[in-house]
Structure 1
Amino acid sequence: MPHQPSQDLEARFSVFLNPIRDLTKNWEVDIAKLSEIQITFDGGVTVMNFAEAAMLIQGSATVYSKKAM
């Protein structure tokens, strides 16, 4: 059976894909471990910078938190 990259990414980033019901769980994410991950697309042609991805997540979380209030 061929390797499914989308399933691998979903397993690795499942913490971000599921809504967090308890706000204390926000602090249980191991950011240091995530910083070691380099995300590549197109067979390595496109590489996502982790710092840029973190800023995108932070901005999305800010918008989401304002809508949840």
Structure 2
Amino acid sequence: MIYLQILDACADKAITSLLDRLGKTTGRQIGWTQSRVCTFRNQLDIAVYKKDERAGRGEHTCRKRLQSSDYGQ
């Protein structure tokens, strides 16, 4: 699922912006906030995004992950 890949590679603020631009809402049909993304990340036990951590390990950055997904086209 692309959302889980994005959660793993992007900051909460970037995810919030992306979801809002795509018109995605939460299960309660309300908009996403940085706090809601953070809560969702915690519920799925996904580590907090740390700038340059993934790039340092040779993993895709947020921008590259989005470009390689359906959302980058």
TM-score by length of 1: 0.33
Greater RCO, 1 or 2 (C-alpha within 8 Å, sep 6+): 2
Compare CA radii of gyration and give the structure with the larger one. Answer: 1
Q: Name whichever structure is richer in strand by fraction.
A: 1
TM-score by length of 2: 0.32
Q: Name whichever structure is richer in helix by fraction.
A: 1
